[in-house]
Structure 1
Amino acid sequence: MQKDSKINKSCCFQRHGFLTGMVFLLVIALLVCGNFRASPVWSADMPVVIVDPGHGGNDKGGQGPGGQLEKRVCLALAKKLEAALDGRGAQVIMTRTDDYGISVDQRASLANRHQGDALISLHTGASRNSAANKHCIYYDLPPGGDQGPAAADHDSTIARKWDRIQRRHVRASALLAESLRAQVDQLEMPDGADVMQAPMALLHGLDMPAVIYETGYITHPTMAEKLENQAYLESLARALAEGTMKFLRDSS
């Protein structure tokens, strides 16, 4: 009887340990699931938006009357746009995250490697005429125009010429530009934003809808001061994020 009692006690301890372990694993699973709901991870369903702060490093871009530098304005706005897009459920890839130089080819390579769904390149305008000031959104006019088959040039060694690849996205890029304008025009802007098509080397090699946004002229004294105002940059970032996400929703 003593031997059987020891066996029964051992079985009870094993059953108790098994049940305790199962409860512990269940609690852990619920906590993990709760964390995933609170902090969603990126998935294939999330749009990828490439945010491209213009200039950087030795390339300062335009300069304002108070010493404002385009490269700094672009990076500051890009970081706010990144946060605004992230809050709207997009995965954001920045072409640069600090003050360093990056070539046009490097920007295109990074964007294409991450298979972006859209690219927004941020710049300011500049002019020798300090009274000039406007907002412009450019989409590309590829070499040879935007008609005909997209990126169809091949030979035995080159699979695709990047300088023609944007052609397939020109119409979508125009829609992206209009979507951004609709949101930006709700802010206090000089005469609203202009949407223009022009040959843009930065956009030629991008295999996705892409635009360049110039946020006013940094050489305009009043505009230069606004471009240093964090609240203004945040409102602009929200408008750009909303325009981008609306374009992506309408295109899906």
Structure 2
Amino acid sequence: MFLRNKPRLIINIHAIIIIIMFGVVFTTDRSNGETFSKDKKIVVLDPGHGGHDNGARGPEGIMEKTVTLSLARRIVAELEDGYKVVLTRTDDYGMKIFERTAAANHLKADLFISLHTGGSFLHKTSGISIFYFDEMSSADQEKRPALSKPDKNIPAPIAWHTIQIKHKKTSRAFAETIREHLEDQTGSLKRPVQTAPLMVLEGADMPAVLIEIGYLTNPAEEKKLIDPDYLSELAKDIRNGIIDFFNKDPGA
């Protein structure tokens, strides 16, 4: 996961460039030139990391970038009959964070899901976590004092970084729906749905969540995350959560 930490102007310029670039490259290279109509919902899956960016690494050497792509491919297989499903990356190559979000915006996607694993120096840390965007993390919000009036000395964020805010309520609803389905099947959810200022979510102009599917640095969870049957079950749970979400909110 990556928290927001780049200069806003640079990100804004890069975002404009990458949206133009994806108009030429993304639809031909990663979706075979297909132009998506809106007769079906469009779901963009973002397998975290890739290329030189391995992400977390398990005790046995399993890499996060490999696990996330494997799961993403399984989710595609579960959804492709009823939805238009696009991967931000289809193989082991790197992508900048804002490229992933720009791809979803270019396609006018209905959902954006970034897939990751957790990593910790404490090997006993375990469980699934689901995040949606907020400018403050859940922990920071608990510490924040109540303000009766907004601070006029704090400049308003530029437009690129306010896009996801308008989807905050729907993103939270989607995160809760996914949590319900993952919790029923895995029993490993030990933390509630959380907020965080995640860069990969903040520019998404649609409901968006980031799912950490377990801690790769935990030896027991590493074994599960390389088990094809376990990943297939996770894919089905996420599929069911997506279907349930759209059934609850057809206009999403």
Aligned to 2:173: 175
User: Are 1:92 and 2:85 matched, yes or no?
Assistant: yes
Aligned to 1:83: 77
Which aligned pairs between 1:29-178 and structure 2 lie closer than 5 A? 43-87=37-81, 89-142=82-135, 161-178=159-176
In 2, are the aligned partners of 1:54 and 1:121 still within 8 Å (CA)? yes
Deviation for aligned residue 1:194: 2.8
Q: What is the identity, as a one-letter code, of the residue corresponding to 2:107?
A: H
Deviation for aligned residue 1:190: 2.3
Residues 122 and 55 from structure 1, CA distance in 2 versus in 1: closer, same or farther, beyond 3 angstroms? Answer: same
Aligned to 1:187: 185
Residues 81 and 43 from structure 1, CA distance in 2 versus in 1: closer, same or farther, beyond 3 angstroms? Answer: same
Deviation for aligned residue 1:127: 0.4
In 2, are the aligned partners of 1:181 and 1:195 still within 8 Å (CA)? yes
Aligned-partner Cα distance in 1 for 2:74–2:128: 18
In 2, are the aligned partners of 1:50 and 1:120 still within 8 Å (CA)? yes
Aligned-partner Cα distance in 1 for 2:109–2:187: 29
Deviation for aligned residue 1:192: 4.7
Aligned to 2:240: 242
In 2, are the aligned partners of 1:86 and 1:92 still within 8 Å (CA)? yes
Structure 1 unaligned residues grouped into runs of 5+:
1-40, 155-159
**TM-score, with structure 2 as normaliser:** 0.75
Which aligned pairs between 1:1-40 and structure 2 lie closer than 5 A? none
Secondary structure in 2 matching 1:61: coil
Aligned-partner Cα distance in 2 for 1:223–1:186: 18
Aligned-partner Cα distance in 1 for 2:83–2:101: 20
- Greater C-alpha Rg: 1
Deviation for aligned residue 1:142: 3.5
Aligned-partner Cα distance in 2 for 1:166–1:42: 22
Aligned-partner Cα distance in 2 for 1:58–1:42: 31
Identical positions, percent: 38
In 1, are the aligned partners of 2:51 and 2:93 still within 8 Å (CA)? yes
In 2, are the aligned partners of 1:181 and 1:193 still within 8 Å (CA)? no
Residues 43 and 140 from structure 1, CA distance in 2 versus in 1: closer, same or farther, beyond 3 angstroms? Answer: same
Deviation for aligned residue 1:105: 1.2
Secondary structure in 2 matching 1:121: strand
Aligned residues: CA RMSD: 2.1
